[in-house]
Structures are given as structure tokens and as C-alpha cells.
């Protein structure tokens, strides 16, 4: 399993990243794309100037611990206690949390999902919906999730140790978030060709990257064989 994670998953990260220009190019043709970008820029500015404020820290801690709680409940675990402090928090369960519960906050964009549910409920109750504002909020909250998650990747987290190590955690977190962000773009900015074109681009990039890696390893083996 570790061999699959360390050898086959990192190229997926590169393949998706190299395919994002195509995805953004498709999305940018949508008339509401600017609303999403404005939400993204707005959060970046807030984070740059107010990133260490008590409110933002607490908002992330709340989402982090509630995500642990949601994952635990999904896995059939019972919550004993949830504690939210200014700079940290924790959730205690009846049983030892599994790896899914441990890693879930890093791959689950809590506020994106919550706002989506609220928007759907609001629409069915009042038959009113501002798609521009919805896209703005999605851009804002996904950027909130990504930036705060990336910051945690640079730190030492007990969650990473419980999951199986920091490198393994980082790979899974990056792959999962990139896939989610890709589907978010595809859902928010649908077109007839976007899913096929993007998927095809990712697969081609992935195959080419694997070929480069395999060729490099074969050549390395050949050179090493000459000396031994």
C-alpha cells in the first residue's frame, strides 16, 4: 500500500496541476467566473492582513474539530467531548479514531459544504438564489480551506503521526484536495467538454510523467549496473 502511495500518487499531483490551466480556461468563459475569483482574492487579502486574528483562527479550529466529529460519526464512533479553544481544539471519541477520522479535516472543505447546504435549503424555502454571491462564497471558503490546510502541512501535527507519517499524510491530502477542487470547478462552471477534456488531459499528463520516471529509473539502473 505504501508503495502505491509513494510511487503512483505523487505523479497524480503533478498531472492535475499541469492540467489546471485547461480547467481555468474553460471556467473563465463562464460569465459568473469573476465572482468566484473575487471571493478567492478577497480571502487572500484578509489572510495576508488579518491571518492571525482570533476570529479567523477560531473559525478554522471550529471547522477542523467539527470535521473530525463528522468523520467519527460516519465511521460509527461516538463523540464524548468537543473542546474549542483560541489556538487549538480537540475531539474525544468513545473508541480510538481510525485513519479516515484523523485525516478528514484536511480533505473536507467544511464551510464550502455547509454554505452549499444552506444555499440549497434557502432556495427551496424562499425560491430566491444569487448565483454570483454563491460563487463568491465558494471562492472565499475554498481558499480559506486550502491556505489553512497548507499552513498546517508545514507544521508537526499529531494527526499526521496517527495517519501513518507526515509524507504519507501530505500526499493523500494534496491528491484529495486537488481532485475536490477540480470537481468543484467542473460543477460550478459546467460545459459540454470540460469534464472529458480535463480528465483526458490529466490521464495523458499522468502517463507521460510515469514514463519519464520509469525511463529515469531504467537509465539509472543501467549506469549503476556498469559500476557494480
CA 6 to chain centre: 18
Q: What is the pLDDT of residues 86-131, one digit of tens each?
A: 778 889 999 999 999 999 999 999 999 999 999 999 989 988 888 9
Instruction: Classify residue 125 as exposed, middle or buried by CB count within 10 Å of its CB (0-12, 13-18, 19+).
Output: exposed
Question: Angle at Cα 9 formed by Cα 8 and Cα 13, nearest 5°?
Answer: 130
With 90 as the cut, is the pLDDT of residue 7 above it?
A: no
What radius of gyration do the chain's Cα atoms show? 20
Overall pTM > 0.85 = yes
pLDDT digits (tens, 9 = 90+) for 43-84: 999 999 887 788 888 999 999 999 999 999 999 999 999 988
Query: DSSP string covering 123-167, please?
Result: HHHH----HHHHHHHHHHHHHHHHHHHHHHHTS--HHHHHHT-HH
How much is the mean pLDDT over the chain? 91
> What residues does 83 pair with on adjacent strands?
90
Per-residue confidence (pLDDT) for residue 15, from 0 to 100: 96
| 24: pLDDT strictly greater than 90 | yes
Amino acid at each position: 500500500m505504501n508503495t502505491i502511495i509513494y510511487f503512483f500518487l505523487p505523479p497524480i499531483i503533478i498531472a492535475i496541476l499541469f492540467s489546471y490551466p485547461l480547467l481555468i480556461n474553460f471556467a473563465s468563459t463562464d460569465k459568473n467566473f469573476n465572482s468566484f475569483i473575487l471571493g478567492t482574492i478577497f480571502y487572500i487579502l484578509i489572510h495576508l492582513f488579518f491571518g492571525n486574528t482570533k476570529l479567523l483562527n477560531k473559525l478554522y479550529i471550529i471547522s477542523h474539530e467539527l470535521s473530525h466529529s463528522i468523520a467519527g460519526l460516519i465511521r460509527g464512533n461516538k463523540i464524548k467531548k468537543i473542546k474549542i479553544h483560541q489556538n487549538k481544539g480537540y475531539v474525544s471519541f468513545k473508541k480510538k479514531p481510525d485513519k479516515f477520522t484523523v485525516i478528514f479535516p484536511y480533505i473536507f472543505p467544511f464551510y464550502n459544504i455547509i454554505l452549499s447546504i444552506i444555499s440549497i435549503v434557502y432556495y427551496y424555502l424562499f425560491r430566491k438564489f444569487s448565483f454570483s454571491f454563491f460563487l463568491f462564497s465558494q471562492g472565499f471558503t475554498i481558499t480559506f480551506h486550502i491556505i489553512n490546510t497548507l499552513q498546517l502541512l508545514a507544521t508537526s501535527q499529531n494527526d499526521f503521526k496517527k495517519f501513518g507519517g507526515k509524507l504519507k499524510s501530505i500526499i493523500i491530502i494534496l491528491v484529495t484536495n486537488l481532485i475536490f477542487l477540480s470537481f468543484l470547478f467542473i460543477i460550478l462552471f459546467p460545459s459540454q467538454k470540460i469534464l472529458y477534456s480535463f480528465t483526458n488531459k490529466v490521464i495523458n499528463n499522468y502517463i507521460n510523467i510515469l514514463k519519464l520516471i520509469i525511463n529515469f529509473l531504467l537509465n539509472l539502473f543501467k549506469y549503476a549496473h556498469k559500476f557494480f
